[in-house]
């Protein structure tokens, strides 16, 4: 390790309390992008991020991405995207870093043990919405840069940052903005790094080279113009809810197999080399089951099958029903309209547009089979393509060296079942390798109750980011 890097890492250790305080300030901003009423908080978080960037001498642009049409027909401004730049030395590599500032909905009534928008330090962990997804990692990058500057050292690479505030709602408006900037802000980028995912387990750090895509759908059933009293109208009218339950039941069987014809046709066959990769991954299904807090896995105790079901095969999940009574207590209402929400996670070779067509046809065929006189409409949600990168690329080699330096163990190379659609956008628009460099662990509970990041991962992850910047500076541009 160079003496300069040792100083940088020492600064990170010495400023742990300050870095935790910074995360506390970020978590207190309840910028839930899915909540219309929290749009001012989204703007407040943008201003918070800009204030941090200014201290580090970034130049920045606030880019408008237009209006968002809400389900009630109203329109509100989308939160702007931040483009930030630090350095333009032609002798240095230019690294693009993406992160998001917005968070998932969270309320104490959801089952939280801690106030979701107050960072709570409990033992080794820091609890709060956004702590691991994605405010902690975004701050980790800024703290790594700060560590160089406070030691009077040049940041070893040029940095461009893209920070958005709509990732949790499909990154609305971002892809179109980036496409316009292909020969502008994105020009000259050598490598791309994203820290918006998690380790496979809780012990070994990971580098991630693949993600599933997403096809989110709504199926709407309408039986009338107003809600009705079940005592007055029950048994006399055709209700929407039984139709919807029947339709949702046609999507997936009890074993988790997708029932939509043709959806598996484009999945690449499993070869021996890929099968060996799953055998070599350090992963415990029982630990995974325990962390998830579920009663059972589809393939109990089978490591390879569990990994393949998460990474290389599509899956279908039913998420909820809008319009149905869901509050505590009893209400004898017949809803006039209900909307079932589900999604399919897609794998390489699958096109979300084609999958959407298969789903649409299947649901319309099933509706004909149902024979109901109610009105059924299939509504598309957001789509995202799957993504794969070359994990033997120098970008991954630099990250592996940085990770091993800090954690004293070689990282695992993993794929992941989630979706970050913008990953593929960066890869296609820049033509450069994209690395997923996670900070958090598998049990952090992103999107769930009691989201957390461990103090260990928060600080060591920041050190990995700092060491990675150093390792990238040593790469030969012609190899990128």
- Answer whether 458's CB lies under 8 Å from 23's CB: yes
CA 277, CA 145: separation in Å to the nearest integer?
35
Give me the helix-helix angle, 352-370 and 240-249, nearest 10°: 130
61, β-bridge pairs:
83
Between the CA of residue 161 and those of 95, 226, 311, what are the distances in Å?
8, 49, 28
CA 56, CA 416: separation in Å to the nearest integer?
33
Is 167 a residue of the active site?
Answer: yes
332 annotated to bind ligand: yes
Is 41 a residue of the active site?
Answer: no
**Which of the following is catalytic: 134, 167, 175, 451?**
167
60 annotated to bind ligand: no
470 annotated to bind ligand: no
The gap from C-alpha 206 to its chain's centroid, in whole angstroms, comes to: 16
Peptide bond into 51 cis (omega under 30): no
Q: What is the CA radius of gyration of the chain?
A: 24
471 annotated to bind ligand: no
Q: How far apart are the first and last CA of the chain?
A: 23
Question: Helix H segments across 16-129?
Answer: 16-27, 39-55
CA 400, CA 38: separation in Å to the nearest integer?
39
Nearest to 173 by CA among 33, 48, 357: 33
133 annotated to bind ligand: yes
364-399 burial: b if 16+ Cβ within 10 Å, else e: eebbeeeebebebebeeebbbbbbbbebebbbbebb
Cβ within 8 Å of residue 408, ≥6 positions away: none
CA torsion angle for 111, 115, 119, 120 (degrees, to 10)? -80
168 annotated to bind ligand: yes
4 annotated to bind ligand: no
- DSSP 3-state assignment of 334? strand
Between the CA of residue 39 and those of 29, 61, 365, what are the distances in Å?
11, 20, 40
CA 99, CA 162: separation in Å to the nearest integer?
6
**Which of the following is catalytic: 41, 102, 146, 175?**
102
Give me the helix-helix angle, 135-150 and 3-14, nearest 10°: 130
Give, for 28, the enclosing helix (H) or strand (E): none
CA 406, CA 465: separation in Å to the nearest integer?
10
Nearest to 191 by CA among 393, 46, 416: 393
Which residues are documented as binding site for Mn(2+)? 100, 133, 168, 196, 447
Which residues are documented as binding site? 100, 133, 168, 196, 229, 332, 345, 419, 447
| Catalytic positions, written as ranges | 102, 167
Which residues are documented as binding site for substrate? 196, 229, 332, 345, 419, 447
């Amino acid at each position: 390790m160079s003496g300069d890097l040792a100083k940088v890492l020492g600064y990170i250790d010495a400023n742990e309390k300050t870095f935790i305080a910074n995360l506390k300030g970020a978590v207190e901003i309840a910028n839930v992008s899915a909540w219309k009423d929290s749009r001012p908080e989204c703007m407040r978080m943008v201003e918070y991020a800009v204030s941090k960037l200014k201290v580090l001498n970034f130049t920045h642009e606030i880019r408008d991405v237009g209006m968002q049409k809400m389900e009630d027909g109203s329109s509100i401004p989308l939160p702007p995207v931040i483009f930030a730049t630090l350095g333009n030395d032609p002798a240095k590599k230019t690294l693009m870093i993406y992160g998001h500032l917005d968070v998932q909905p969270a309320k104490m009534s959801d089952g939280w043990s801690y106030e979701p928008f107050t960072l709570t330090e409990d033992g080794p962990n820091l609890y709060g919405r956004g702590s691991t997804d994605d405010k902690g990692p975004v701050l980790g990058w800024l703290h790594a840069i700060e560590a160089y500057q406070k030691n009077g050292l040049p940041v070893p690479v040029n940095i461009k940052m893209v920070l958005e505030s709509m990732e949790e709602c499909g990154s609305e408006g971002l892809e179109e903005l980036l496409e316009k900037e292909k020969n502008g802000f994105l020009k000259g980028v050598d490598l791309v790094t994203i820290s918006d995912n998690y380790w496979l387990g809780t012990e070994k750090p990971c580098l991630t080279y693949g993600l599933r895509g997403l096809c989110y759908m709504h199926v709407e059933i309408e039986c009338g113009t107003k809600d009705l009293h079940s005592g007055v109208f029950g048994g006399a009218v055709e209700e929407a809810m039984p139709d919807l339950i029947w339709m949702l039941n046609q999507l997936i069987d009890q074993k988790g197999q997708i029932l939509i014809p043709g959806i598996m046709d484009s999945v690449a066959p499993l070869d021996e080399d890929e099968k060996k990769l799953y055998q070599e991954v350090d992963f415990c299904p029982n630990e995974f089951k325990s962390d998830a807090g579920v009663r059972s896995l589809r393939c109990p105790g089978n490591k390879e099958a569990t990994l393949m079901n998460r990474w290389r095969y599509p899956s279908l999940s039913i998420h909820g029903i809008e319009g149905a009574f869901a509050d505590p207590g009893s209400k004898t209402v017949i809803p006039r309209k209900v909307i079932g929400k589900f999604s399919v996670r897609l794998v390489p070779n699958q096109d979300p547009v084609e999958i959407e067509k298969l789903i649409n046809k299947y649901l319309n065929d099933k509706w004909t089979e149902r024979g109901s006189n109610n009105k059924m409409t299939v509504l598309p949600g957001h789509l995202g393509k799957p993504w794969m990168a070359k994990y033997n690329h120098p970008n991954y080699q630099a990250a592996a060296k940085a990770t091993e330096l800090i954690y004293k163990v070689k990282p695992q190379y993993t794929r992941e079942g989630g979706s970050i659609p913008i990953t593929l956008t960066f890869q296609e628009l820049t033509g450069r390798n994209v690395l997923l460099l996670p900070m958090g662990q598998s049990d952090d509970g992103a999107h769930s109750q009691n989201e957390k990041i461990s103090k260990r991962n928060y600080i060591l992850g920041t050190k990995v980011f700092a060491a990675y910047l150093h390792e990238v500076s040593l790469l030969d541009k012609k190899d990128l």
